[in-house]
Structure formats: C-alpha cells, structure tokens
Structure 1
Amino acid sequence: MYDVLEIHNIGMKYQSLDGEINALEDINFSVRDGEFLSIVGPSGCGKSTLLSIISGLLPATKGRVLLNGEKINGASRKIGYMLQKDHLFDWRTIYKNVLLGLEIQKNVSPKAKDHALAMLKTYGLDEFRNAYPSQLSGGMRQRVALIRTLVTDPRILLLDEAFSALDYQTRLAVNDDIYAIIKKENKTAILVTHDISESIAMSDRVVVLSKRPGTVKNTYQIRLSCDHRTPLSSREAPEFRHYFQDIWKELDVHV
C-alpha cells in the first residue's frame, strides 16, 4: 500500500480585524491508498481549513500537498468534497441531483448517466430517482450527496463534518452506510469530525491536531478486534474505550 496523498509542512496565516491569525503550522502526514483517515482537534484549530487546502480550494501560506506525487494547484477533479449539509437542489429530482457534478465537469455522457443510475440502484435509491429531496429522510439525502460526489470518480474523498447535521440514531446508521459505500468503491477518505467516537469507529488512523495554531499532536493507528468491521461493530470492540480515553486526553477538553 502506497501513499496517495502527502501533506508537507503546511502552514496557514490569514488577516482578521484583530490582526494576523496563525491558523495552521507545520502540518505533516500522509494518507495511504484505500485508507480511511480522520482528523480531530479542538474547535477553531483549523480542521476545515486544512481540508480546503487539501482540496485545492484554498492556497496554503506555506508547504505543499501532493496527490500521487504531483503538487495540487487549485481545485482538482481527483478530489471529491462532501460537506456538512447535503446541498441538494430541491427543484431537481434525485437523479438530476446526482448528475450535478458531472454537469459542472461537462462530462454527462451516456456512460456516465448509466453509471449514475447503477449507483442509485446498488445503494438502494433507484426507486427514489424521480423523487425530490424533500421526500427523503436525512440519511437518504446524505447517501445521495455521497453518490453525487462518487459518480465523478474522485481519487480522494473529503468529508467535512458530513454527519453532524443528523440526529444521533440516524448518524450511527449513516456512518455504517457511508463507510460500506466508500469501502465498496475502494476510495481513500479523510473525515474531519469533532466526534471522537465517530473518528475511531470509521477510521484506520486518527490524526489529532493541537489548539490553534493547529499542528499534528499525535496519530493513532486504530486496531480493533472485531470481525467484519463496521462503524457500529467497532464501538463494541474492547479496545474502543481505550482509544477514546487517550484521544480525549490529547484534546485537552477541559482546557
């Protein structure tokens, strides 16, 4: 397994009304092909800013991001971005929403349309393809948002607090759904989350950032003794609570 994404010495400073803010400082880590990696850290430590830099939407003050050994300069079609809100258009059908990314890329070919329909069928949404977002549950809408991202065939999938708008029970179910889809599609994923349990349950590794300026404080390789691992079954593994306690302490949650 090789490193598909490399983050080298990333730093980010920006101007505010109170002067210059040092948001990120000397961020270094890599992501292996097919890996699911989570990033956690205190509020305001620059987690979402880091994702924007990785996606190419925001230029870093210093450092570089490499995808398959090539420096990312600007937005890349090889990187898909899934946000906290699903951003489905209420006036478009589910099928038309799924095609949106392809339309933006000017890549709506018959083959691409067939692929979109196949993904809706594979992931249990075919019967809703002519429905509208308002007719779907929150969990189903997130599945649609993921399929819309995956149908463009990105190499890396970025998830920025992608489940935080859901209620707790729905969130647990969607964790399982999204995890299964990502693994089936063999995608490399990076999840930013404030939920320690979610990061452990879904990830192969968890990167912990410090308070601002955010830098890598520690990295945890997640090894859980459960067969046929899913996010839900991961929470029942005996090692789970130990990882939770260690990461909780790293985050200095009482400070």
Structure 2
Amino acid sequence: MKPLLEVRDVSLSYHTPSGETAALSHISFDLMPGEFLAVVGPSGCGKSTLLNVICGLLAPEQGSVLMNGTSVSRGDPRMGYMLQKDHLLEWRTIYKNVLLGLEVRRELTPEKLSYIEKMLHTYGLDKFRSARPSQLSGGMRQRAALIRTLALKPELLLLDEPFSALDYQTRLNVSDDIGKILKKENKPAILVTHDISEAISMADRVIILTKRPASVAKIVSIHLDIENRTPLSSRNAPDFKSYFNLIWKELNQYA
C-alpha cells in the first residue's frame, strides 16, 4: 500500500530583520490511507509550523511534501484544517456556518447538501440548525466546525489542538466524538496536541518532536489490547500507561 502523504527531509527557518530562526530540521515520515497520526513535542518546537507546511501554507526551504505522489500547494483542496478556535460566525446560523466552505468554493451541489443533512442528523446537530453559535456549548460548536470541514470532502484532515479551549470533561467527550466520527467517515488525520493521553487515545502512531528546531525524535506505534477501540475506551487499556511513560520519558529529554 502506498502512503497517502509523504513528508521528506523538510526543513524551514523564519527570517526577520533581527536574524534567522530555525523551526524545522530534516523531518520525514509517511501517513498511510485511513491512518491517524498524532504529533507531540515541547511547547514552541514547531508543531503548528509543521501542519502549515503539510497543507501548503508555508513552503519548506528544503525537502518536499507529497500527497498521492503530487506536491501540495497553498490552499490545497485535498486537505481540511481545524484550528484551535472553531471560528464560527455569530451572525450566521449553525446551518449557514456549516455551508460556508461550500459557498466559498461554489460547491453547493445537491449531493453535498445531502451529505451535510446526513451529518447534521447523525452527529446530533440537526435540532440546532437554526441556533446561533453562542447558543451552543463548546463541544457542539466543535462538532459544527468539524462538519463544516468534512463537507468539503477533504482527503486528509489536519487538527491543530482543536480541543485545547474546552474544559477537561468536555475535552474528553468531544475528542471521543470526533475520533468516532473520523473512524466512521474513514478519514485519515494528523493531530497536533500537547496532551500525551489524548495523542495515545486517538492515534495509530505518535510522532515525538525534539525542541526547536524540531526533528523527529521517535515514532511510536500504538497497539492497545482492547475491543472496539474508541478514544475514551483506549484510556482504560492495560498498555495505556506504558505508552504514556515511554512518550513522557522521551519528551522530558527536551524539557
């Protein structure tokens, strides 16, 4: 099976009048079809910068990013991007917010509108379609943001700490919801997170980055002995603590 995404020897520095700051250094990894990767690393090491390179918002100074064998470009329609904030527009209803990406791309086709209706119903937002974002909980808002992103039918979903603004209980429930949704939709994803437990519970593999300039310190494959694995049930798996200690020990080298 060929990789969906190939990141090869990617390096990037930021240039300012005061000098050069190296952000990424010779990063390489693959993402297979249907796979969920999590990226962890010290604060400020360049995790979000890496996502911006993967989706084409930043061009690497060295190396390449290929998706299905072709280079990614700025605004690549093959990728969906969920940020830390949901960025729902208060003057639009939830339904109108979900339609926004399709409106911008002029892709309001009957097929895609039907797909949105299905997702609103399946993921519990249909009865809130006429509500404003401020009337919804943080978790419901993130579900709406996810549906807005999935409506564009991206081949790969990038998640930049999408649960970080939520309280702990909501964060657990929403990460579990979104993990189940991505599995049901068979959507490959890359999650950037500071939360080791979140990374282990959601991912098939965890990429550990060094301090800046970030390079790949280790890639840990997650194999939890549990039936019908979900992000929430993964936390009760016998091997969960062992993976946590392994990643914690690796990250502590760069504290």
Q: Superposition pairs for residues 160-179 of structure 1, below 5 Å?
A: 160-179=160-179
Which residue of the partner structure matches residue 208 of structure 2? 208
Question: Is 66-75 or 43-52 further displaced after alignment?
Answer: 66-75
d(CA) in 2 for partners of 1:254 and 1:80?
A: 31
State the match for 1:31 in structure 2. Answer: 31
1:41-56 correspondence to structure 2 within 5 Å: 41-56=41-56
**Paired residue for 1:128?**
128
Percent identity between the aligned chains? Answer: 59
Report SS of the residue matched to 1:140. helix
Gaps of at least 5 residues in structure 2 are: none
C-alpha distance in structure 1 between counterparts of 2:182 and 2:41, whole Å: 23
Gaps of 5+ in 1: none
CA shift at 1:73, angstroms?
2.3
Number of positions where the alignment pairs a residue of Structure 1 with one of Structure 2: 255
**Which consecutive segments of 4 or more residues in structure 1 shift more than 3 A?**
none
Pairing 1:106-117 to 2, within 5 Å after superposition: 106-117=106-117
> What's the offset of the Cα at 1:105?
1.1
- In the alignment, is the contact (CA less than 8 A) between 1:95 and 1:117 conserved in 2? no
Structure 1 residues 253 and 129, CA gap change in structure 2 (3 angstroms): farther
Residue 223 (structure 1) aligns with: 223
The TM-score with structure 2 as length reference comes to 0.97
Q: Structure 1: how far apart are the matches of 2:46 and 2:18?
A: 17
* Counterpart-to-counterpart distance in 2, 1:57 and 1:48: 11
The Cα of 1:17 is off from its aligned counterpart by: 5.1
CA contact (8 A) 1:27 1:216 kept: yes
Q: Answer yes or no: is 1:16 the counterpart of 2:16.
A: yes
Structure 2 residue matching 1:65: 3-state secondary structure: strand
Query: Does the aligned pair in 2 maintain the 1:205–1:221 contact within 8 Å?
Result: yes
User: 1:253 Cα shift?
Assistant: 6.3
Task: Output one character per residue of 1:38-63: Cα deviation in whole Å (capped at 9) or x when no partner.
Answer: 00000111100000010111111111
Provide Cα deviations, 1:53-83, integer angstroms capped at 9, x if missing partner: 1011111111110000111122211100000
Structure 2 match to 1:142: 142
What's the offset of the Cα at 1:104? Answer: 1.3
Task: Give the distance between the partners of 1:142 and 1:74, measured in 2 at CA.
Answer: 24
Confirm or deny that 1:82 pairs with 2:82. Answer: yes
Q: Which amino acid aligns with 2:34?
A: G
RMSD across aligned C-alpha pairs, in angstroms? Answer: 1.1
Check whether the contact 1:12–1:62 (CA below 8 A) recurs between aligned residues.
yes
- Deviations 1:158-202 (Å, cap 9, x if unpaired)? 000110000000000001100011011110000000000000000
CA positional deviation for 1:112? 1.8
Contact 2:210 2:254 survives alignment (8 Å): no
Deviation of the 1:254 alpha carbon = 7.5
Counterpart Cα distance in 1 of 2:70 and 2:248: 35
The answer to whether the 8 Å contact 1:42/1:253 transfers is no
Query: Is residue 37–residue 191 contact of structure 1 (8 Å, CA) maintained in 2?
Result: yes
Q: Deviations for 1:108-147, whole angstroms, at most 9, x for unmatched residues?
A: 1222222211210111111111111111110000000000
Aligned-partner residue type, residue 225 of structure 2: S
